[in-house]
Amino acid sequence: MTLSTQRSKGWRSKKVQETALVVFVTLLRALLGFAVAVPFFWLISTSLKPENLLFRVPVVWIPRPPMWSNYVEAVQYIPFFTYLKNTLTIAVPATIFTTLSSSFVAYGFSRVKWPGRDIVFMILVSTMMLPYQVTMVPLFVVFKNLGWIDTYKPLVVPTLFGGAFYIFLIRQFLMSLPMDLQDAARIDGCSELRIYWQIMLPLTKPALATTALLTFIGNWNEFLMPLIYINTNSKFPLALGLQQFQRQYGAEWALLMAASTLMTIPIITLFFATQKTFIRGIALTGIKG
Amino acid sequence: MRRSTLRKLAVGLFFIGPWIIGFLGFTLYPMIMSAYYSLTNYNLVNEPQYIGWKNYIRLLQMDPQFKTAISNTMYMVIVGLPIWLFVALVMAVLLNEKGKLTTFFRTLFYLPSVVPTVAASVLWMWVLNPQYGIVNTLLKSMGFSGPGWFTDPTWSKPGLILMGAWATGGTMIIFLAGLQNVPEALYESAELDGAGWWRKLRHITLPILTPTIFFNLIMGMISTFQYFTQAFVISRGAGSNVPPGGPLGSTLFYAIYLYQNAFSYLRMGYAAAMAWLLFIVILVFTLLLFRSSGRWVHYDS
């Protein structure tokens, strides 16, 4: 809006227009940035407040001195380390299994040309559209009959068979590699398994890293699956434990915020450590749309 | 078939074998079973009992909560989703312009979407706390009195939409990737023709971005129809014995009501029927979007 009015006043010079644009963009960025940042400040600030500052008006942004002991109290109030251990017990094998099995399957969908491949691949892609609710009830029945309720098996065992989305992602990557690579190896009498393991797997590292990262975070955050399958409090992963805590001690905002911060920090750290892989992965999911 | 083709088929099937097993066991078999359960009365304890289309008839004709769940969910798809896509798009366009601290802002805008959903939901209950939350406190300091958010049936869904807009970074990154595909030369020639910022955005950037918008719209639509965790955590957080979906059913979304039917009321057949209706609705919407895409999505070449 401002730009067009400026132009109508005769601001034709390109330099002025460009400066105006930079100012406009910077202002909007700052405004949105502020809106995005406020909840984060609120999270950290609340987690460090003594009880008497929680409901103080006007708001105290930086509690002095900060109540670090809230964190100590929070990890005892909720059995934080038990939940952490449970989360890792699910997320670590699920990540390894998903990454390996998905890359294995992706190889079959990209580096070997077999009749019917494209049709089967279309089926795989279309399963991504299926809402989980359609399979939810029968799977529960199956796992119940197997005696797997209240164990981690329903969350981990299915990851041995590849995730459609990750198969898709790794396949896209594999398709971009030159075919000569394996033709040469085949002529040398290399078995397909060795071509996969020794040639293709190392070459797909970027796609594997993205897959591992997204799966790990997905499992760390997963709420519904453990909600359905895990009943015993001492077996809860963090997501479920935090929700339970919220239900029982809803008014303990400082402790709740401390616990939420603790659950978020590992993921944010992971994000900063692997930002490139991360952003590329997210972008990849959309490019071939 | 020739021997070499047969060999290739064997190798291919060997590699995709794990997925085939998974597909049969964790997708196809459950799909067939849930279609069957949807025609039965089944409470996990007794054997499923065939009742024909009764579950579907009851859902469509006699269940007021089902209607509530549908209208709440449609609200999110029709009001929430466009807002989320718009916010993500604005963020991406802003990040795609030259300006100060681009990397910093990109990280900042993206950061909320890595916050675990449960943690984010708990945080937003406090951010939107009617009395002491930061949003209402800020509104008050500007002379407005803020709404009751998650305690008020009129404001609970807008509260969830606000929270979703905060965490829309994943969509933003996909938009950003799409924006970076726009060839610089197009802008340069437009500038020579004297096109300003808005005209470049309207006539170059947006048309080239339509496939990305379409992709995000489809993905967003599918996931919004299954909207669950945020509303579940927030509505149950109101107290230890509160069922999800409150206040006054205003956040009873389709997936939440389905979950309740399955695991709170043990109406497995009823839940399965709901799941199939959901699947059909998603299919129809996807189909309609694809149908419409010819008119507004531009694919290059």
Of B132, B166, B275, Cβ closest to residue A54: B132
Question: Does the global pTM surpass 0.95?
Answer: no
Domain boundaries defined on chain A: 2-72, 73-287
In terms of Cβ atoms closer than 10 Å to its own Cβ (0-12, 13-18, 19+), residue A50 is: middle
Taken in order A196, A202, A203, A209, is the CA torsion positive or negative? positive
Question: Tell me: the pLDDT tens digits for B73-119?
Answer: 999 999 999 999 999 999 999 998 877 788 899 999 999 999 999 99
First to last CA, chain B: 38
Could B15 and A105 be called an inter-chain contact, meaning their C-beta atoms sit closer than 8 Å?
A: yes
Per-residue pLDDT, A289: 36
Chain A environment of B228 (Cβ under 8 Å): 224
Spatial separation of the C-alpha atoms in residues B285 and B224, rounded to whole Å: 12
Determine the Cα–Cα distance for residues A31 and B276; give it in Å rounded to an integer: 43
Digit-coded pLDDT (tens) for B42-83:
999 999 999 999 999 999 999 999 999 999 999 999 999 999
Note whether B61 and B197 are within 8 A (CB): no
Report CA-CA distances (Å) from A187 to A104, A109, A174, A284.
Answer: 22, 21, 20, 33
Nearest residue to B55 (alpha-carbon basis) of B74, B30, B29, B36: B36
B182-193 tens-digit pLDDT? 888 888 888 888
Distance CA A47, CA A33 (A): 22
Q: What angle do CA B185, B187, B192 make, to 5 degrees?
A: 95
**Contact between B121 and A223 (Cβ < 8 Å):** no
Which residues does chain B have within 8 Å of residue A29's beta carbon, measured at their own beta carbons? 94-95, 99, 101, 105
Question: Confidence band (pLDDT; 50, 70, 90) for B301?
Answer: very low
Q: Is A101 on the interface with B (CB under 8 A)?
A: yes
Q: Say if CB A112 and CB A185 are below 8 A apart.
A: no
DSSP state for residue B242 in the 8-state scheme = P
Name the residue with higher pLDDT: B173 or A18.
B173
**B221 interaction partners in chain A (CB closer than 8 Å):** none
| Model confidence pLDDT, tens digit, residues B128-171 | 999 899 999 999 989 999 999 999 999 999 999 999 999 999 89
A25 touches chain B (CB under 8 A): yes
- Do residues A24 and A3 make contact, with C-beta atoms less than 8 angstroms apart? yes
Mean pLDDT of B196-208: 87
In this prediction the ipTM stands at 0.91
Report pLDDT for A286: 56
User: B175 is written with which tokens?
Assistant: 């938009």
Pairing relationship of beta strands B40-41 and B49-50 according to DSSP bridges: antiparallel
pLDDT at A179: 82
Q: B117 and A223: CB-CB below 8 Å?
A: yes
Residue to test with chain B: of A137, A156, A168, most B Cβ within 10 A: A137
* Per-residue pLDDT at B123 exceeds 70: yes
Q: Do B173 and A283 touch (CB under 8 A)?
A: yes
Confidence class for position B300, pLDDT limits 50, 70, 90: low
Mean residue pLDDT across chain B: 92
Beta carbons of A124 and A162 less than 8 angstroms apart: no
More confident residue, B296 or B299: B296
- pLDDT for residue A11: 52
Residue B1: per-residue pLDDT: 67
Report the pLDDT value the prediction gives residue A124, as an integer from 0 to 100.
96
Q: Between residues 172 and 191 of chain A, which touch chain B (CB distance below 8 Å)?
A: none
Considering only the beta carbons, identify the residue of A46, A139, A282 that sits closest to B170: A282
CA separation (Å) from B42 to A30, B33, B137, B231, B257?
55, 12, 50, 27, 17
Cβ contact, residue pair B33, A289, below 8 Å: no
Between 1.10.3720.10, 1.10.357.10, 3.40.980.10, 3.40.50.1820, what CATH number should domain A73-287 receive? 1.10.3720.10
The one-letter amino acid code at B216 reads N
Q: A130 by DSSP, 3-state: which?
A: coil
Cα dihedral across residues B79, B82, B88, B94: positive or negative: negative
Using CB atoms within 10 A of its CB, is residue B285 exposed (0-12), middle (13-18) or buried (19+)?
middle
Do B268 and A137 meet the contact criterion of CB atoms below 8 Å apart? yes
Q: How far apart are the first and last CA of chain A?
A: 33
In whole angstroms, how large is the CA radius of gyration of chain A? 25
**pLDDT digits (tens), chain A, 289 positions:** 445 544 444 555 777 877 888 888 889 999 999 999 999 999 999 999 998 888 887 788 888 889 899 999 999 988 999 999 999 999 999 999 999 999 999 999 998 899 999 999 999 999 999 999 999 999 999 999 999 999 999 999 999 999 999 999 999 889 888 888 788 888 888 888 888 998 889 989 888 998 999 999 999 999 999 999 999 999 999 999 999 888 887 778 999 999 999 999 999 999 888 887 777 776 666 544 3
DSSP 3-state assignment of B168? Answer: coil
Residue B121 and residue B229 in contact, taking contact as beta carbons nearer than 8 Å: yes
Q: Is A64 on the interface with B (CB under 8 A)?
A: no
Distance from CA of B96 to the nearest CA of A (A): 10
Contact B112 A26 (CB under 8 A): no
Of A39, A142, A144, Cβ closest to residue B123: A39
Nearest neighbour of B177 by CB, restricted to A25, A228, A286: A286
Give residue B278's pLDDT.
97
Say if the Cβ atoms of A26 and B31 lie within 8 Å.
Answer: no
Q: Which residues of A touch B197 (CB under 8 A)?
A: 3, 17, 21
